[in-house]
A = this chain, B = another copy of it.
Amino acid sequence: MAVYTHVEPDDLAALVARYDIGTVVSCKGIAEGVENSNFLLETTDGRFILTLYEKRVSEGDLPFFVDLLDHLAKRGCPVPAMIRDREGAAIQQVSGRAACIIQFLPGISLTHPTPGQCEAAGAALGSMHRAVADFAGARENSMGHRHWRAIAEGSGDLDAVIPGLQAIVDDELAHLDTHWPRDLPAHVVHADLFPDNVLMLGDRVTGLIDFYFAATDSRAYDVAVTHAAWTFSADGRDCNADCAAALMRGYTSEITLTSDEMAALPLLARGAALRFLLTRAHDWIHTPADALVTRKDPAPFLARLRRYQAADAARLFAAA
């Protein structure tokens, strides 16, 4: 939940007046997006999301995100396009922040997806990968595997978060450094496709949102992140085999993974689990106790890491 920056009504009216979207009817801060301030903006013409970018999204990256969403929207992906003002600009300044007015998409984020919903999410991810393959943009994945050691070292006392965590992380980093696959098919990927970031109505995906971690990485790593995000119990201990098979079935209905990619998935998933374990541990240590955001427990991602380390992990990625 997040509304860090207030927008004065006069500033809002001036912003909206730059666009052909009518005049302001209502504007309510919404509890979505950990990184930015988000508002549900209603005008006489319709509904929009107003996003003000806070510290974690670099203003220099915004043109990349605008271009990426434009590209995906043009190819029919259900992503929220950035609205352009009369002069063609998508990026504005409001209340001292970079800001965009973004298309509103219907749908609700799930918390307990069914296998049918996992299949739809997998298919939506695959469809998005097909659409993004010819996108010309690129962005270093600052949350990608090359950066995990630095994130771990910058986190502070990992053992204070979970006793023994430092040794577990050191061992895993060594293993991943040795075995991380090279030369897998790569392009811009979402890299954070948790159920929070997928809007659905029933079993239908109506929106893929929050592309602010999107970056260049292997597409199979994106599958691994999505697998870790969608198929586990809340405590991370149990992977639901039906959900996992459905997710893979949905994805592979759109994308045929190579044998190298299939073989790499358990290791990529260990990496995905480590990535969220590390960033949650970092935020656990560094989030001030009086912050507006809720710290997320890292432990369920340690549990996922353990599951993906198991000898039988490959069967979690079978499509049937």
Contacts and interface: CB of A to CB of B under 8 A. Distances in A.
Contacts of A26: 104-108, 199
A25 B111 contact: no
Determine the interface band of chain A, counting residues with CB < 8 A from chain B. Answer: 20 to 34
A32 B25 contact: no
B29 A108 contact: no
Contacts of A201: 24-25
Contacts of A199: 26
Interface string A9-42: 1001000000000001111111110000000101
Interface string A241-260: 00000000000000000000
Contact of A28 (B8, B27, B31): B31
A28 B107 CA distance: 10
Interface stretch (A51-59, A62-70, A289-297, A307-315): A289-297
A110 interface: yes
Interface in A192-226: 199-201
Contacts of A289: 289-290
A122 B53 CA distance: 36
A110 B27 CA distance: 11
A1 B292 contact: yes
A199 B26 CA distance: 9
B9 A108 contact: yes
A281 interface: no
A47 B292 CA distance: 27
A111 B1 contact: no
Contacts of A42: 47, 106
Contact of A6 (B25, B27, B106, B111): B111
B25 A1 contact: no
Given A1-B1, A290-B289, A292-B294, A30 B40 contact: yes
A105 B28 CA distance: 11
A147 interface: no
Contacts of A110: 9
Residue picked from A1, A24, A108, most chain B C-beta under 10 Å: A108
A119 to B, nearest CB: 17
Contacts of A6: 111
Contacts of A290: 289-290
Nearest to A49: B28
A24 B202 CA distance: 10
A75 to B, nearest CB: 23
Contacts of A105: 26
Contact of A31 (B9, B31, B108): B31
7 contacts: A12-B108, A24-B201, A26-B104, A28-B31, A40-B40, A42-B106, A289-B289
